[in-house]
Structure 1
């Protein structure tokens, strides 16, 4: 088995460029995961001791702390293997190790001796000579100690420690229950009416003459878009929204209670107040206000769109009185086909997966000046044959490595996200990131193409932002309600006719017609109101579930759905059990719409007639993405735009 060198040690820094880590490939992953995590955790402990017993010079203390944070980030990346590794034993071991890492993180935050070192450093020798980045590291570190409860009495610190360990276990349980629970419906083949030929060909009847449709995205998305059988759509939606129910109902209640108690012990009025203190939005009340602001802006348009959907539904069902969420995708597709001349089944023929993946690399390479060099699996040593790896080059030098794990399988993370494998630190270790998605191997829906561009934006951010000195600000290390903005902006390139013409071709080799893309853009404007309203219903669940206790999360979630969405709740559904963002984003699901507001503002700097203009693309790359977390997000945006961010571009987009 190949072993990685110890990148966090002081001896690892050299004049030679760092190499990607060695993954075991066909070797012993169970041993490697343990050795990688425990070795890096041990290195973090050694570096922390250097902080506590070494020099009192500010820069030397921070340098030792940087080595500790680098090693700790490496150890924490073990969580990736719990989400993607095909061996359940490796996934379970990764969960165990992640608990150990998080336990140590908690200990560090409550370590008064360690805090005393940084407190003394802030006014001690060398503090005045620190540059802006080092001073920012120090300020954020002191803030972290305060938010961890280091200044609380011993009994409170002990309870905070218990709560942290409990929260880690509950979070793992919540995610595991979602990951391991693939549900399905079995239907007669004729009930696949409306589905594309390739979909029906890939879903042959079993020995009982029935077809199985699962809640995995390659099954779910096409059926909800094209399947004309309304009852099957309802059954499939119910299966999707009942993933991890009833198990996650109590898990979530327990997790919410832990978060509420943690915030109270730390002196905050609510978990959202604690959570937002380090975000752009600034306070829990600001989240509630934002939800109302977006809802008020979108509600009229959303109701108009639902009226259009209801009118179309009544063509099929004359007595229909309501449009359900599981109707919306199907009837939106029909409206776009009949009123905007956009047939999704025709559109998807231009997006075979392999062509889209290569096109994405070509587009982002041209836009950001990056080179993507394929790395053979025998060299990359990846964990599954589906994984494709690429070295990332800029100006002729390798600056990172990415791994694309894009198809579903048993035991794998069920949604779409970017995971850190290695945190980039200049001269020490190359950034490596993993894109985890669940796309079909055949034709893709255009909205899946948009999703792929979006998620890839996180990967680009991770690599470009991973070139600095400080682990603390490496990669996507900005405020958490900004992290989606760069990815949402990259979606714009998946809507441009000239961009799509570079890779969107059907089986005959014909390029997607510009007039079809123009129609797609016009059709895309339909549904913006319902999208914004539905997003606010999710954001409201995220916020209000955390703002106070609720005995029945299903009933309260349905109440919020009726208040903010234009689609009624699905009877018998318990969607909060499958709503994975309630873990990672906790009370902050508003982030997606908040980031969209900023993304539209960022995009306003680009020339729609030339999306590859080098001056603006390079400025964006260098002033926003490459900065990682070295400045507050608002300052990064202002540096690029030459002004503070505003709602104007988003409001104009909504009104189009």
Structure 2
């Protein structure tokens, strides 16, 4: 059986990262030469190509260290190496001799998986411009290299720009005791509150000082401004020109071709459909928030974005008897992390065995590592890097360390988040379940023969669906009772969980329209050129959200999904539609039903990208997916 990769721990990461990337790239070159040498049959060619793609993926994964390593020199080196890898990938995609080998292959005699590898490989060559003239291919290579550098700049500016406000201690009114204790006044008598999530989220949820909420929200929405404004404009221009050179009407058309949604126009249509379905409910809900705000400010005529979390919390406390400050006492971080492992272990039949740092060789002493077992066999290793620090990725995501390939290499993934080290908000618990779903998908889907289909390798607008479905377990009374306990050892009361669920129904319309305002930025920024992204973003906010734009904010500069998701932020709501349908197969009274959970594990998660996502869902549900479950959820 393959072993986990040998990380350097407290050793020389700078050298290790370079040797890891260079060695894997050299192996990729060797395997590509084997492909070009023309082995005897299609099976041999595809096997050599699989080894090449495996080595390339290993080299590409060096990008992880640019996001998490505490040493800035290692982060910078990882960025440089990532540029080299992407340059090589671009060159391969336009290599006509290599393409000719695949174009000459016959699919006769290949099994379904191998045939799918061949089809997708030929599609990738076409999308890389292999059939274009020399001048066009040269320009496409230039654009690819420039796009990689711009993407890195965009992410680095967000990662490195932590902003803050300084306020008098009295302006922390409404914040929990542990929050205020963790934020003592400095020598100047003022308290610093940063835009990192463990500071930002509780402050905007519980802080009763509206002006302070405004100032912190404004700071958060100006992260990476003004640097990323021009970076984003340049990145959008690269994408527009790339799509044009490849013969597409727009970047969204190019981007959507390999997704479930299919076309750029379909993205716009989906945004309009969700907006039309949600707007009435969102209007009713924001009216409730405004009514509550007028209790504090009778002259109020609008609910601002920085008011939304605070007044939603008050509505839930006063109208649904759910006090977020009480709820959080049941969710100490360490308890939640272990509870998550216990829940997912029971649900999917997985075993999580802790691995000491000196064995795992990780990059920081707060990283927790576990070997993943199934039926007594180790099938992967995971690393949980869950707290903020300087220079680290600022949001929440799962990163590949190693894509699993049966008999060749063990699946390893990293969960990168920015949670508090103390008491968690329940929505943070939900987020942790969500992100961990990607990690489970990565490991379970990493047991097959083909690198191409390893892990979360489905269409990109499906990848959130399994994780969104796993969120449901963070709302179930029986599930929460297994780990949600306060400092006195008391389990979270069933009636409190029931009230939390009722309260959670409030705000679904608000959530849907605000998501569409983000999706609209993602889509329309890419669908055409706009000279002033702030002004156009504000226009889209007014069109799709019930919250007015925040004056003086430039949120697109900190909107990291504009890089990785490009025109496809609609993915989150598209996936939620499917997630609600997937969840309909489970019994609300027994979320651990082994037959259903095992069928889901094996028919969806373990398949990776071996089949189209729609087919995976239909195989599990016994029918095509529909909007019905989502519409029912929205109407509840």
TM-score relative to the length of structure 2: 1.00
Does residue 57 of structure 1 match 2:64?
no
- Tell me which residue corresponds to 1:513: 493
Structure 2 Cα separation of the partners of residues 405 and 160 of structure 1: 36
Unaligned runs of 5+ in 1: 1-16
Deviation at 1:624, TM superposition (A): 0.1
Secondary structure (helix, strand or coil) at the match of 2:609 reads coil
Query: Counterparts in 2 of 1:165-176, with a 5 A limit?
Result: 165-176=145-156
Deviations 1:555-578 (A, max 9, x none): 000000000000000000000000
User: 1:148 aligned to 2:132?
Assistant: no
1:112 aligns with 2:105: no
Residue aligned with 2:413, SS: strand
Map Cα deviations across residues 239-282 of structure 1 (whole Å, 9 max, x no partner).
00000000000000000000000000000000000000000000
Residue 198 of structure 2 corresponds to 218
Of 52, 76, 84, the residue aligned with 1:100 is: 84
Asked if residue 391 in structure 1 is aligned to residue 371 in structure 2, the reply is yes
1:570 maps to 2:550: yes
Aligned counterpart, 2:460: 480
* SS of corresponding position for 2:321: coil
1:361 counterpart SS class: helix
| 2:51 corresponding residue in structure 1 | 67
Partner of residue 609, structure 1: 589
Counterpart among 274, 277, 295 of residue 275 in structure 2: 295
* DSSP 3-state at the match of 2:366: coil
Which runs of structure 2 are paired with 1:234-249 in the superposition (5 Å)? 234-249=214-229
Asked whether 1:34 is paired with 2:18, we answer: yes
Q: How many pairs align? A: 636
Secondary structure in structure 2 of the residue aligned to 1:401 = strand
Aligned CA RMSD, in angstroms, stands at: 0.3
User: Would the aligned equivalents of 2:523 and 2:567 in 1 still touch at CA under 8 Å?
Assistant: yes
Give, in angstroms, the shift of residue 56 of structure 1: 3.9
Aligned partner of 2:118 in structure 1 is 138
Displacement of 1:645? 0.4
Q: Distance between the aligned counterparts of 1:136 and 1:563, measured in 2? A: 42
Q: Following the alignment from structure 2 to structure 1, what is the Cα–Cα distance between the partners of residues 479 and 240?
A: 47
Matches of 1:56 and 1:643, distance apart in 2? 42
Partner of 2:578: 598
1:330 aligns with 2:330: no
Q: Structure 1 residue 470 and structure 2 residue 454: aligned? A: no
User: What is the distance in 1 between the residues matched to 2:438 and 2:599?
Assistant: 18
| 1:78 has 2:62 as partner | yes
Are 2:526 and 1:546 aligned?
Answer: yes
Alignment-derived partner of residue 409 in structure 1: 389
State the shift of 1:54 in Å.
3.4
How far residue 226 of structure 1 moved from its aligned partner, in angstroms, is: 0.1
**Structure 2 unmatched ranges of 5 or more:** none
What are the superposed Cα offsets for residues 474-530 of structure 1, whole Å, 9 maximum, x if unpaired? 000000000000000000000000000000000000000000000000000000000
1:266 pairs with 2:246: yes
SS in 2 for 1:269: coil
Q: Does 1:426 align with 2:399?
A: no
Match of 2:142 among 162, 171, 177: 162
What is the aligned counterpart of 1:189 among 163, 169, 184?
A: 169
**Segments of 4+ moved more than 3 angstroms:** none
TM-score under structure 1 length normalisation: 0.97
Write the distance in 2 (CA, Å) between the matches of 1:253 and 1:378: 44
Distance 1:177 1:377 in 2: 30
1:19 aligned onto 2:7: no
Q: CA deviation at 1:328?
A: 0.4
Q: CA deviation at 1:128?
A: 0.9
